[in-house]
Amino acid sequence: MKLNQPLIRATLLRRYKRFLADVRLENGEITTVHCANPGAMTGLDAPGMTIWLSDSGNPKRKLPLSWELAELPSGLVGINTALPNRIVAEALADRRILELADYTSFRPEVKYGENSRVDFLLTGDGLPDCYLEVKNVHLSRETGWAEFPDAATARGARHLAELANMVKSGQRAVNLFLVQRDDCTRFRLADDVDPAYAAAMAEAKAAGVEILAYACTLTREEITLSRPLPLDLS
């Protein structure tokens, strides 16, 4: 998925009210930018770190600049939670998610369950419909480990229950963790952050919900789904 070009380098001064950040641009100007991330962003919002911004090109927008990437010594991390579905849509179209490559078409944002919308509904001749939920991952508290969630998520637990219900009705259901960083080699649940989500995951797995995790390759030009990660869901 291509990022708006060129990205603008900045130094983070502070992140606040979840969706706002004050930054210093390279010309010394201090401005406020949009932060499209409601989570805790643990390890990714330290004052003084280098971050990368996109410009909407819309002078009428209240905050024309948006925070896209955080730069760590280990590499770039995507913080924009609006991007994972676009990244996955491209990967589905290119058949790069091996476990789902037999499906020939997909639709986004399909109503299902109790007043919910699934990220993607995949269909294919002779195959059960597949309900695919995508979760953005950027937390890593230990070298090599990607973790989810970085904050309590009752919504995420509800999605797992909805997916389990689809399996019980004879369909296929998949929860895909998209890791917007390429410095991780494994994935696990942050059960200390949200024990209720970990319990919901155990119930969903027991019901037959499939769990996948994929890393991304990130540059300042694009973010693409790259490789599957082994899971530790114990």
The reported pLDDT for the residue numbered 116 is: 86
The reported pLDDT for the residue numbered 113 is: 81
According to DSSP, the residues that pair with 69 across neighbouring strands are 52, 78
145-193 pLDDT, tens per residue? 999 999 999 999 999 999 999 999 999 999 999 999 999 999 999 999 9
Cα dist from 86 to 119, 171, 174, 175, 185, whole Å? 10, 24, 17, 16, 23
In the chain, what percentage of residues exceed pLDDT 90?
Answer: 94
CB within 8 Å of 163: residues ≥ 6 apart = 118, 131, 133, 173, 174, 175, 204, 209
Average pLDDT over residues 215-222: 97
Query: Domain 8-78: which CATH class?
Result: mainly beta
The reported pLDDT for the residue numbered 200 is: 97
The reported pLDDT for the residue numbered 39 is: 92
Three-class SS state of 36: coil
6-20 pLDDT, tens per residue? 999 999 999 999 999
Three-class SS state of 112: strand
CB 104 within 8 A of CB 123: yes
Q: Where are the domains of the chain?
A: 8-78, 84-232
Confidence of residue 114 (pLDDT cuts 50, 70, 90): confident
Q: CA torsion sign, 50 to 192 to 35 to 7?
A: positive
Residue 163 dihedral angles phi and psi, to the nearest 5°: -65, -40
| CATH code of domain 84-232 | 3.40.1350.60
Give the Cα separation of 138 and 90 in Å (integer).
20
Is 0.85 topped by the overall pTM? yes
CB within 8 Å of 73: residues ≥ 6 apart = none
